[in-house]
Amino acid sequence: MTAVVDTDPAPVPGVRAGAFGNAAHLVCRECGAHTALGPFYACTECFGPLEVGYEFPTITRERIEAGPRSIWRYAPLLPVPADIATFRSTDPGFTRLVDARHLADDLGLEQLWIKDDSGNPTHSFKDRVVAVALSAARELGLQVLACPSTGNLANAVAAAAARAGIKSVVFVPANLEQQKILASAVYDTTLIAIEGNYDDVNKLASEIAAEEEGWAFVNVNVRPYYAEGSKTLGYEIAEQLGWRIPDQVVVPVASGAQLTKIDKGFRELIKLGLVEDKPFVIFGAQATGCSPVAQAYRAGQDFVAPVKPDTIAKSLAIGNPADGPYVLDVVRRTGGVVADVDDETLVANIQRLARTEGIFAETAGGVTVGVTAKLLSDGVLDPEAETVVINSGDGLKTLDAVANRVGPKITIPPRYEAFIDFWKDTNS
Amino acid sequence: MSATVRIPTILRTYTAGAGEVNADGRTLAEVLDSLEDNHPGIRARILDDAGALRRFVNVYVGDDDVRFIGGLDAQVAEGTKISIIPAVAGGAHH
């Protein structure tokens, strides 16, 4: 353990004043040592992960509400410059918060909202984090935007780089859903398919990040900035509820960063006096075939033993989740749990969400809805408490999941008699 | 047995800037001993006070995360490539 440094380290040379807005330093989540705002992600003292620390001025609801209808309305709360909205990005965020009363009735919940992040520019929450990483890359003078990805992130990086007019390189597992591969390749990124799973791709990316100067691996060497983008999910939920924090939130867990940052976002809003200070409970959702954090939760451990993923929920298939230990901290502190559902159940819950709310979620959304249903029937989730469930991506990216579950009710010749025979049968 | 060890950026102060060094040993523990002999101080950055792998370090022997193949007892064959990589944010204990 190293003593906490009181004074902030000297800024990295060549970085303009205000490049990171109200961010003041990087701070080690393990030993508390401070590092200058730069392309760093591991503490030089203990290898611990770095995150962004701030010195916030007074920030008002009115100022935020006057901002653009994107994550940039929260710019004073992010490690981005005050003039961020003048740069070319995909301007993600401010996705809809859907009053899910039919799903609530189906589940036996009093009040349920779906935060539908499939409405982002490349149809997943990853546009939020990439936009913040892109800003950091620009301010640090890095010229290539890159990532290892389970698919959604590759889509977001490729699109953001195209919009910004910079080069991108994305690394994906070769066995990824075709929709996600094509949805990255179309932006003319350099897409490299790796013969291995996400953890193999991640390892390779870390090795490349150590050797290639001028590259911003969004979720590796600029990860501290990138991860802050997920706080905007928390800010938006609170603002869209009328500056109020919900009682319960169910969040998908892949690396776990999204869950920990929603928690951080809520706590910042409370600290800044933008919402009333009240308790909230955060639940984590995983697919059984890749559930290292749920297993650690059940075993009462504060560390996460890596697993080899085997699930159709590929966007959640991270066997060695970077923020796993911090997810355990957050759910235990707030009184939540981490639970999992199998592939069969997650597909049934993709259908349930589509049938009741007209929202077509990708596999991760099936996991969050499935875990919500499971926790309700287990008596863990409070049916009376206002609940928000995150849908992090679009079902059009994981069509295979429902391919042999839904389809035409019947195929008939183009004749009225054929139709009316079928219609009478089905409605008799 | 001789192995090649890839050194992460934040440990290159111990290897005079080298990104790759040679080390000897039949197990990962022996390789780290050999690394320490040639680059004093480096082992304590990879292992904690109890002598276990630090929580935020991932070590790979060949393509395998050592946490799946015996940890510090992982066998190291002649000519193996070993990679030491900071965990991207979290990581695991065992």
Comparing C-alpha atoms, which of A312, A318, A372 is closest to residue A342? A312
Taking the C-alpha atoms of residue A302 and residue A296, their distance in angstroms, rounded to an integer, is 7
Note whether B92 contacts A304, CB cutoff 8 Å: yes
% helix, strand, coil for chain A, step of 5: 40, 15, 45
Residue with tokens 């047995």: B1
| Structure tokens, A211 | 């050797």
Residue A37 CB: number of other CB atoms within 10 A? 25
Comparing C-alpha atoms, which of B88, B60, B21 is closest to residue A51? B88
| Alpha helix ranges (H) inside chain B | 28-38, 43-46
Residue A142 and residue A216 in contact, taking contact as beta carbons nearer than 8 Å: yes
Whether A221 and A116 share a structural domain: no
Q: What is the 3-state secondary structure (H, E, C) of A124-157?
A: ECHHHHHHHHHHHHHHCCCCEEEEECCCHHHHHH
Whether A118 and A151 share a structural domain: no
Which residue among B6, B65, B87 places its CB closest to the CB of A322?
B87
Q: In B, which residues are within 8 Å of A199 by CB distance?
A: 65
Note whether B10 contacts A47, CB cutoff 8 Å: yes
pTM, to two decimals:
0.91
How many residues belong to chain B?
A: 94
Whether A220 and A235 share a structural domain: no
Higher per-residue pLDDT: A110 or B88: A110
Collapsing DSSP to helix, strand or coil, A181 comes out as helix
Q: Which domain holds residue A252?
A: 97-122+230-402
pLDDT tens digits, residue range A341-350?
999 999 999 9
Residue B52 CB: number of other CB atoms within 10 A? 12
Nearest CA in chain B to A148: B88
Collapsing DSSP to helix, strand or coil, A372 comes out as helix
Taking the C-alpha atoms of residue A239 and residue A243, their distance in angstroms, rounded to an integer, is 4
Whether A247 and A351 share a structural domain: yes
pLDDT (0 to 100) of residue B40: 95
Q: How far is A249 from chain B (nearest CA, A)?
A: 22
User: Residue B94: inside a domain, yes or no?
Assistant: no
Residue with tokens 């393990």: A30
DSSP E strands: which ranges in A30-185? 34-35, 50-54, 97-99, 112-116, 144-148, 167-173
Residue with tokens 């776990």: A256
Any CB–CB contact under 8 A between B19 and chain A? yes
pLDDT (0 to 100) of residue A347: 98
Q: Which domain holds residue B46?
A: 2-86
Taking the C-alpha atoms of residue A287 and residue A305, their distance in angstroms, rounded to an integer, is 16
Whether A234 and A378 share a structural domain: yes
pLDDT tens digits, residue range A305-340?
889 899 999 889 889 888 999 999 999 999 999 999
Q: What is the ipTM of this complex?
A: 0.75
Instruction: Pick out chain A residues at pLDDT < 70.
Output: 1-7
Note whether B86 contacts A305, CB cutoff 8 Å: no
User: Residue B91: inside a domain, yes or no?
Assistant: no
Residue with tokens 């004749």: A415
pLDDT (0 to 100) of residue B89: 46
pLDDT tens digits, residue range A74-106?
999 999 999 999 999 999 999 999 999 999 999
Whether A287 and A321 share a structural domain: yes
Taking the C-alpha atoms of residue A32 and residue A5, their distance in angstroms, rounded to an integer, is 8
Whether A198 and A220 share a structural domain: yes
Q: Which residues contact A373 (CB under 8 A, 6 or more apart)?
A: A107, A349, A352
Taking the C-alpha atoms of residue A419 and residue A24, their distance in angstroms, rounded to an integer, is 67
pLDDT (0 to 100) of residue B92: 31
Taking the C-alpha atoms of residue A273 and residue B50, their distance in angstroms, rounded to an integer, is 43
Note whether B86 contacts A47, CB cutoff 8 Å: yes
Q: How far is A195 from chain B (nearest CA, A)?
A: 12
Mutate to test the interface with B, among A320, A326, A338 (most CBs of B within 10 A): A320
Q: In B, which residues are within 8 Å of A320 by CB distance?
A: 58, 65, 87, 91-92
pLDDT (0 to 100) of residue B41: 92
User: Residue A90: inside a domain, yes or no?
Assistant: no
Whether A50 and A131 share a structural domain: no
pLDDT tens digits, residue range B63-75?
888 988 999 999 9
User: Residue A60: inside a domain, yes or no?
Assistant: no
Nearest CA in chain A to B84: A207
Q: In A, which residues are within 8 Å of B94 by CB distance?
A: 303, 305
CATH code: domain of residue A215: 3.40.50.1100
Q: Compute CA A124 distance to the chain's CA centroid, rounded to the nearest angstrom.
A: 8
What order do you get walking across the sheet with A23-28 strand by strand?
A34-35, A23-28, A50-54
pLDDT tens digits, residue range B2-36?
899 999 888 999 999 999 999 999 999 999 999 99
Q: How many domains does chain A have?
A: 3
Q: How far is A396 from chain B (nearest CA, A)?
A: 29
User: Residue A419: inside a domain, yes or no?
Assistant: no
pLDDT tens digits, residue range B38-54?
999 999 999 988 999 88
Q: How many domains does chain B have?
A: 1
User: Residue A89: inside a domain, yes or no?
Assistant: no
Any CB–CB contact under 8 A between B79 and chain A? no
Note whether B90 contacts A220, CB cutoff 8 Å: no
CATH code: domain of residue B15: 3.10.20.30
pLDDT (0 to 100) of residue A7: 64
Whether A23 and A118 share a structural domain: no
User: Residue A87: inside a domain, yes or no?
Assistant: no
